[in-house]
Amino acid sequence: MAPVVDVLADLEWRGLLAQTTDRDALAKDLAAGPLTVYCGFDPTADSLHVGSLVPLLALRRFQLAGHRPIALAGGATGFIGDPTGRTTDRVMSTPDEISARVMLIKAQMERFLSFDDGPSGAIMADNLDWTASMTALEFLRDVGRHFPVSQMLARESVSARLESGGLSFTEMAYQLLQSLDFVELYRRHGCTAQIGGNDQWGNITAGLDLLRRTEQAGGHALTFPLVTDSAGQKLGKSTGGGNVWLDPAKTSPYALYQFALNVDDRDAGTYLRLLTFVGQAEVEALDLETAERPHARAAQKRLAQELVALVHSADEVERVQAASAALFGGGALEALDEPTLRAALAEAPSVIVAGECPSLVDLLAEGLSLSKSDARRAVKEGGAYLNNAKVADEQAVPAEQDWLHGRFLVLRKGKRNVLVVERSAR
C-alpha cells in the first residue's frame, strides 16, 4: 500500500467518483497542499457495517495522499434522522441510545485513520458539540435564514417525500444541520471538502451554499456511487439478508471472511476496489484470474483476507482461515488435534451440554435458533451433518464415539451453518 499521490485518479479508477463540484479546482487544491476533508456517519445502529467502509476508507485514501481527514459522528443529526431515501419518518431514538452508539462508532472509526500530530493527522468530531448548546432562536437566525424554502422543496429527498405523504419540519431541517456541520468544521479546522454517498449530494451542496453565504468561502463536494451487488442488493447484506457489521460481536471475523469468500464473481473486482487498498496492478491481475479460472476464486480469497485484516487484524485472518479450512475441508475432523480443532471451532456458534446429551434435532434447534420443525426438516431433507457425515434419522442422538477428543461435536445444517457442541468435563 504505497502512498497514493494522485488521490483523485485513484478514486476514479476504483469507481468511487460519482459527482464532484469543480473537479479541476479540486485537483488544484489537492495538489496545492493538505486539504481537510470530512465525512459524516450517523449513529443509526450500534455498529458500522461493511457499506460504511466505502466512505471510511475513502477518508483514509485522502489521508494516505497527505490530506487531513475528519470523521464526524452524527450525535446531533442521528437524533433527527436523514429523510434521504426514506419513505417514512424514522423511529426516534432516545438520547442515551444515541450517545452510546456514537461512542461505539467513534471507536470503530478510529481504527481506520491515524491520529498523529502531522499535517495529515485525523480528527474525530461529533456534531452534537456545536449543536447541543445552540438555542432554537440562534439556529433559526444564523442558519435557517440562509435557506430559501423554494430550494429546499426542490431537493429530491424532500420532493419524493412530499409525494409519498409528506415529511415533518424536523426532517426537512436535517439538511440545515448537516450544512451547519460543514461550516463549523470549516471554522474550526479549515475543512473545505465533504465526501459521502451519492444520495448525500443534495445535503453536501446545501452545505457549500451555506459556506459561501456565511463565510464567503468555496469548498468541494465529492460523492461515491451507491453500490449495489449484481443481484441489486445494497452492499453489505449477507445472504441471510442481514447486515454485515464491523463489530465482531455482531458479525464474527469468521462470518465476515465467509461473506467475502461467497461474493459473486461479478462483484469481487468491484469490492476489491471499493473495500480494500489493494493496488491497481494487482486488482486487474485478479480480475483476469477470475475470468480465466473462476473456480480458483483468487479475487474472493484476497478480498476476504484484506477485509478481515482491515476490520480486525492479521492474526484474525490466520485463525479464520484455519477455521474455514477445517470446517469446509469436508471430512477428517477426527484427524485434527485438539488445539487445532478448538481454535477452528472458536468462530462458530456453540452449545454447551452437561449431562445427558439431547437429540440431534434439539441441538440444532437450540444452537442455530431454529424452530424444532425447521431442525426436523433439515434432517428429513438430508441437510444435517454430524462430524461431516450426513444424518437422516430424526431421532438420532450422538453416540459416545462421536465426541471428538471426548468433548466436541461438529453439527452442520446445509453447507455453511456450523454448530459446535461442547461437553463440559465430567
Instruction: Name the residue nearer to RNA (CB basis): 234 or 415.
Output: 415
Residue 241 binding RNA, by CB under 7 A: yes
Among positions 239, 282, 393, 405, the unique one binding RNA when judged by CB under 7 A:
239
DSSP letter assigned to residue 185: H
In the shown chain, the binding pattern of residues 141 to 170 toward RNA, with x for contact by CB under 7 A and - for none, equals ------------------------x-----
Separation of alpha carbons 288 and 281, rounded Å: 11
Q: Which stretch binds RNA (CB under 7 A): 48-56, 125-133, 321-329, 342-350?
A: 321-329
d(CA 259, CA 327): 15
Output the nine-digit C-alpha cell for 392. 437422516
> Is the Cβ–Cβ distance between 47 and 108 less than 8 Å?
yes
Residue (111 or 390) nearer to RNA, CB: 390
CA 342, 344, 346, 348 dihedral sign is negative
Q: What is the dihedral of CA 51, 52, 54, 59, to 10 degrees?
A: 180
377 counts as binding RNA under rule CB under 7 A: yes
Selected binder of RNA within 19, 93, 151, 324 (CB under 7 A): 324
String marking each residue 212-231 x if it binds RNA according to CB under 7 A: -------------------x
- The pairing of beta strand 123-126 with beta strand 68-73: parallel
Q: Is residue 264 near RNA by the rule CB under 7 A?
A: yes
Minimum CB distance to RNA, residue 386 (Å): 13
Amino acid present at 71: A
Q: Name which of 29 and 306 has its Cβ closer to RNA.
A: 306
Between residues 67 and 297, which has the closer beta carbon with respect to RNA?
Answer: 297
User: Is residue 387 within the footprint of RNA (CB under 7 A)?
Assistant: no
Q: Closest CB to RNA among 95 and 382?
A: 382
Q: In what order do the strands lie in the sheet with 408-413?
A: 350-353, 417-423, 408-413, 384-386, 389-390
In terms of residues, how long is the chain?
A: 426
Amino acid at 193: A
CA 244 to chain centre: 6
Determine, following the binding rule CB under 7 A, whether residue 338 of this chain makes contact with RNA: no
The answer to whether 203 contacts RNA (rule: CB under 7 A) is no
Pick the stretch among 78-86, 111-119, 369-377, 403-411 that binds RNA (CB under 7 A): 369-377
Instruction: Name the residue nearer to RNA (CB basis): 188 or 301.
Output: 301
* CB of 222 closer than 8 Å to CB of 25: no
DSSP string, 136-165: HHHIIIIIGGG--HHHHHHSHHHHHHHHTT
Closest separation in Å from C-beta 370 to RNA: 8
- Interacting residues with RNA between 388 and 407 (CB under 7 A): none
Binding of residue 331 to RNA (CB under 7 A): no
Q: Do residues 149 and 159 touch, judged by C-beta distance below 8 A? A: no
Q: Does 88 bind RNA (CB under 7 A)?
A: no
Closest CB 360 distance from RNA, rounded Å = 13
Q: Which of 66, 349, 358, 383 binds RNA (CB under 7 A)?
A: 383
What type of residue is 382?
A: G
Rounded to whole angstroms, the Cα distance separating 128 from 144 reads: 18
Q: Is 300 in the site for RNA (CB under 7 A)?
A: yes
Count of positions on this chain that bind RNA (CB under 7 A): 34
Q: How far is the CB of 171 from RNA (least distance, A)?
A: 18
The distance from CA 385 to its chain's CA centroid, rounded to whole angstroms, is 32
Cβ neighbors of 126 (< 8 A, separation 6 or more) are: 72, 73, 74, 75, 76, 102, 106
Q: Please report whether residue 297 would count as binding RNA according to CB under 7 A.
A: yes
Report the interface residues with RNA, using CB under 7 A: 165, 231, 239-241, 258, 261-265, 294-295, 297, 300, 324-325, 328, 365, 371-374, 376-378, 381-383, 413-417
